[in-house]
Structure formats: structure tokens, C-alpha cells
Amino acid sequence: MHVVIMGCGRVGSSLAAELEAAGHSVAIIDQSREAFRRLGPDFKGRTVTGVGFDRDTLVEAGIETASAFAAVSNGDNSNIIAARVAREVFGVSNVVARIYDSGRAEIYQRLGIPTVATVLWATDQISRRIMPEGTRSEWRDATGTISLSEVHPAADWYGSPVLRIENVTSARVAFITRLGEGLIPDEHTVLQEGDLVHVIVEEGKIAAVEAALAKSPEES
């Protein structure tokens, strides 16, 4: 598929290289020609100098045939404007914008523009490791209905099959993080001390899932 990226900073250039390595065609936009040096000599995609929310610039980058658009410049306003133009003017369905202001990120997420709030993500990840009690949301769908959350089962769950969580709660186990690596569990995977459990759950049922996991599997 063809992907258009706005912003050739560290995130944009890394994303461009990763997508190209995966076999996708990539066009990257930046106001500074010098920024394209970050792409390195092996980059085969299209580089477009210009403002990422300008229609002519987007057309030059191939937005009319793009399957996805990522706005990852260092300006919140520019990213949101560009994301809206890509979606509302050119009909790109898969659009994401990086936002530094977590308050704005929440607003635009509710409006249906998927966002990545850099500061919010970093703070959440750090606090999760410092204070590992309770459920912490890692992602919500655009409607705010479904949440990907990290949960912390009571110690009595250690030694139980991971998928037992699905038998006693309304949550679905998406993956676990074990010793710093992601693992998709199967029917043989057993919970170990130190595992981080990530579940998909309806937003309104998180409290019930927490309550069930605070008890032993038998009590739940």
C-alpha cells in the first residue's frame, strides 16, 4: 500500500524506513529539504518539500491513492489540520496524528481522529512500572467504547492458564509481556510472577474485570 507521512523528524524518518522495509511505497513531506537527510541513502520513496496540509503538496505526495496518512511533525495544530484534510478532503480512512498535548489528543480521539499523545504515553508507561496496582488504559477506540488495558491479577492467579481470565471475566487477553517481550498466549500459557497482562474490554466493564482479578480464580 501507499503511505504518506508528514514530518521527517526522528519518528517520521524511522516510520518511513520501517514501512519501506515492509514493502510499502512511502512518500514523506517536510518543510525543510535538510530533514530528508535522516532517511539515508537507501530510501527509495518520494520526498516532497512543502506544508503537509497543503492540498497541492499532498497530491504531489500521492495522497489520492494513499491507504494511510501519518502526521508526525512537531506541531500539534499542523498535525491535526493535515490529518483532517487527509480524511475529510481526500477520503483516506487510515489516518493518525501525533499530539503532544494530551488534552487535545483526547478531544480529537473522540472526534474519530486516532492520535498518539507522546507525553501521555511516556507518563503512563513510567507510572505503570512505578505503581503497578490497578488497570491502566493503553488504547481506546475512536468511540471510547473498547479499551486495551493492562491489568494486574492477584498473586493467586500465578500458575493458572492465562486464558482462564476469559472464562471468569468479559475481557479477552490480547497479549502478555514477559521479561520485556510480547507473547500471544495459547491454551498452554500459564501466568507467571512478573507477567504484564493486556486485555481488550468494554470500557464500562473494566471495574468488574478488576474486581474479578483481585480475587483468586476460584473465588471469581
Q: Does pLDDT of 204 surpass 50?
A: yes
Q: Does pLDDT of 132 surpass 80?
A: no
Higher pLDDT, 194 or 68: 68
**pLDDT of amino acid 7:** 94
**pLDDT of amino acid 170:** 92
Give the Cα separation of 75 and 73 in Å (integer): 6
Q: Does pLDDT of 137 surpass 60?
A: yes
Higher pLDDT, 216 or 123: 216
Three cell numbers written together for 1: 500500500
Three cell numbers written together for 92: 483516506
Q: Does pLDDT of 55 surpass 90?
A: yes
42 residue type, one letter: D
How far from 77 is each of 21, 36, 61, 70, 100, CA to CA, in Å? 30, 22, 20, 14, 10
* SS3 assignment, position 194: coil
**pLDDT of amino acid 194:** 77
DSSP 121-144: HHHHHHHHHH---S-EEEEE-TTS
Domains of the chain: 2-119 (3.40.50.720), 128-213 (3.30.70.1450)
Residues 171-189 have a mean pLDDT of: 89
Give the Cα separation of 159 and 191 in Å (integer): 5
In tens, the pLDDT along 153-179 reads 888 999 999 999 999 999 999 999 887
Q: Give me the percent of the chain exceeding a pLDDT of 70.
A: 82
pTM (global) more than 0.95: no
In tens, the pLDDT along 71-125 reads 999 888 899 899 989 999 999 988 888 887 766 666 666 666 666 666 555 445 5
Q: Does pLDDT of 126 surpass 80?
A: no
**pLDDT of amino acid 119:** 52
Give the Cα separation of 24 and 84 in Å (integer): 23
Nearest 5°: the CA angle 192, 204, 120 is 70
Give the Cα separation of 133 and 128 in Å (integer): 8
Q: Give me the percent of the chain exceeding a pLDDT of 90.
A: 50
**Paired residues of 97 in beta bridges:** 71, 115
Residues 133-144 have a mean pLDDT of: 69
Three cell numbers written together for 209: 474485570
